Chain A
Amino acid sequence: MKVTIEPPPGEGEPLAPLHRRLGWFIGLALASAAATAVVAYALRALLV
């Protein structure tokens, strides 16, 4: 099966330090929001 959605870390797999995980958390959220904004502005530019 092709994995497209990231599964959780395996049992015993070490986690990255908290600051790096928080960085990913904020970074992924901002990147997702930015992607949404790009689509929204593109639609607006296309239609207005």
Chain B
Amino acid sequence: MSFDAELLGRLQFAFTIAFHIIFPSFTIGLASFLAVLEGLWLLSGREAFRNLYLFWIKIFALSFGMGVVSGVVMSYEIGTNWSVFSRVASPVIGPLLAFEVLTAFFLEASFLGVMLFGWKRVGPRLHFLATVLVALGTLTSAFWIISANSWMQHPTGFTTLPDGSLLATDWMQVIFSPTFPSRLAHMSLAAYLTTALVVGAASAWTLLKDRSQPESRLALRMAIGMFAIVAPLQLLAGHESGKVVLEHQPLKTAAIEAYWESAPNQPQSLIGLPDRSAAKTHFELAIPGIGNVVQGVPRDRVLQGLDAFPRDDWPVVGLVYWAFRIMVGLGLAMIGLGVWGVVLIARKRLEDSTWFLRAAVAMGPAGFVAVIAGWIVAEVGRQPWTIYGVLRTADSASPVGAGQVSASLLAFIVIYAIVFSAGAIYILRLIAKGPALETEAPPDAEGRAPGTPLAAVPPEPEA
């Protein structure tokens, strides 16, 4: 393996997009959570919903900002490191990304201002409308980005011009390519799960210090409700997405499951060490003969193995294989956490279970890890193509030297380490404080917060 411009460009994109995906996968769910909180506050008038809203909106604003900044970087990166891809694919991909900005990003950016600074000015109902529009914007953003990526996974509705560039011939086929619906469902549910896990972890953290904190008790129950319902749904959505991958990218399925040879009734590999050069899995623990059942296909169907494809087209099998198992393993742990939480709620012992609260805290980052692992499966599994079956990654790179790409990669690592570490630490500190602060009385007329030394100073007599 040589560190040429192509590999360095791939590493750079992997690094920047892995940072970026953390934020939208959190803000998509958090925007909807805020809309639910505000709607419930309007309906019930219960102060706990309002306090939770005021607590999470700060974290949403910070995460949204960091998501925008990390997303802008990638747009430029596509131009600098992947100019051939840009030239070839922009007539198809470009409009999809432009629609994302025009319909989703501006919706989010515009009404975020109302959410943050306009509650008293616009009143509760118009403020709720702004929150709903921002939540809608985040989902619309996911729609266009998954649409563009799904087209790259299985391109349809285009033609190739004599100069090699692509032209859309049917926009509906471009936008709604075959893998798009199941992938959109899978990613949207992943975002909701990610948010529920963070909300659950933050609430459990506060409850470990104060078991009676009312907002955290409420938020933990809401989070448990989410992962008790959404985690099993995600298992079904993931299975459907896997069936679509088998139909349209059988090589990716072969890498995910380490099917080295084509055969019906492949064994279902649970764990092992795939060895690409030896074309076998070492120390494998597998259940024989259930591959077709797991894939949801007839028992006599031959499942293509890696041997059905040229070796040069194989992705990095070990990475795809393990990323998939990490994602599925965490998904099963989320289902387990949901069931455990529901049982504790039914027995009215939720806050008494220190072990559950600790487990909920430990599972806080699980959604982010599962999302990144899932995207590794999708993107590394698609290699060596940028546009599957149309444009190879090796033919997509810019005519730049390895030195240039490595210099920018180094700069990204340093800047991201400083900027995003600071942002993440600030968010974690806000979460660690918990929603209790939102319940404090507002500062007095002279801006002195209650409980502070200044609050003890008597006000100056009027002249």
Contact of B121 among A1, A13, A24, A43 (CB under 8 A): A24
Q: Is the CB of B126 within 8 A of A22?
A: yes
Most chain B CB neighbours (cut-off 10 Å) among A6, A16, A33: A6
Contact of B112 with A by CB under 8 A: yes
Q: Which A residues are CB-close (under 8 A) to B127?
A: 8
User: Of A7, A15, A36, which one neighbours B109 at CB under 8 angstroms?
Assistant: A36
Q: Which residues of A contact B437 (CB under 8 A)?
A: 1
**B123 proximity list for chain A (CB < 8 A):** 9, 15-16, 21
Tell me whether A25 and B440 are in contact (CB under 8 A): no
Specify which chain A residues have a CB less than 8 angstroms from the CB of B126 in the assembled complex. Answer: 21-22, 25
**A43 and B54 contact, Cβ closer than 8 Å, known pairs A6-B118, A32-B113:** no
Summed over the interface, the residue pairs from A and B with CB atoms below 8 Å come to a total of 82
**A residues less than 8 Å from B105 (CB atoms):** 36
Within 8 A of B (CB), among A1-48: 1-9, 13, 15-16, 21-22, 24-25, 28-33, 35-36, 43, 47
Pairwise interchain contact A6-B119, C-beta atoms closer than 8 A? yes
Could you list 15 examples of A-B contacts with CB < 8 Å?
Answer: A1-B440, A3-B442, A4-B58, A6-B116, A7-B119, A8-B50, A8-B127, A9-B119, A24-B121, A28-B114, A28-B122, A29-B130, A32-B109, A32-B114, A36-B109
Minimum distance in angstroms from A45 CB to a CB of chain B: 14
Q: Which residues of B contact A25 (CB under 8 A)?
A: 114, 118, 122, 126, 129-130
Bound complex: CA of A31 vs CA of B109, how far in Å?
A: 10
Q: In the complex the two chains form, is B122's CB within 8 Å of A32's CB?
A: no
Q: How far is the CA of A8 from the CA of B124 in the complex (A)?
A: 7
Most buried by B among A28, A30, A36: A28
Which residues of A are at the interface with B, using a C-beta cutoff of 8 A?
1-9, 13, 15-16, 21-22, 24-25, 28-33, 35-36, 43, 47
Asked if B110 lies at the interface with its beta carbon under 8 angstroms from chain A, I say yes
The minimal Cβ–Cβ distance linking A31 to chain B, given in whole angstroms, is 6
Within 8 Å of chain A (Cβ to Cβ): is B111?
A: yes
Q: Could you list which residues of chain B lie within 8 angstroms of chain A, going by C-beta atoms? A: 50, 54, 57-58, 61, 72, 76, 105-106, 109-114, 116-124, 126-127, 129-130, 437, 440, 442-443, 449
Instruction: Specify which chain B residues have a CB less than 8 angstroms from the CB of A3 in the assembled complex.
Output: 442-443
Contacts of A35 in B (CB 8 A): 109, 113
Q: How far is the CB of B50 from chain A (nearest CB, A)?
A: 6
Chain A residues whose CB sits within 8 angstroms of the CB of B114 once the complex forms: 25, 28-29, 32
User: Known interface pairs A25-B126, A29-B110. Does A8 touch B440 (Cβ–Cβ under 8 Å)?
Assistant: no
Q: Are A6 and B120 in contact (CB under 8 A)?
A: yes
- Report A-chain residues with C-beta under 8 Å of the C-beta of B61: 5
A13 to B123, CA, bound (A): 10
Cα A36 to Cα B76 with chains together (Å): 17
A43 to B72, CA, bound (A): 10
**Is B54's CB under 8 angstroms from A9's CB?**
no
Q: How far is the CB of A34 from chain B (nearest CB, A)?
A: 9
Q: Give A37 to B433 CA distance when docked, in angstroms.
A: 35
Once bound together, how far apart are the Cα atoms of A36 and B102, in whole Å?
12
- Chain B residue nearest in CB terms to A22: B126
Q: Is the CB of B124 within 8 A of A28?
A: no
Cα–Cα distance between A29 and B131 once the two chains are bound (Å): 12
- Best-surrounded residue of A5, A8, A33, A47 (most CB of chain B within 10 A): A8
**Beyond A32-B109, A32-B113, A36-B109, is A9–B122 a contact (Cβ under 8 Å)?**
no
* Chain B residues in 8 Å Cβ range of A22: 122, 126
Central interface residue in B116, B120, B442, by most chain A CB within 10 Å: B120
A2 to chain B, nearest CB (A): 8
Q: Which 8 A-B residue pairings sit nearest by Cβ, starting from the closest?
A: A32-B113, A24-B121, A36-B109, A29-B110, A33-B110, A25-B122, A28-B114, A6-B119
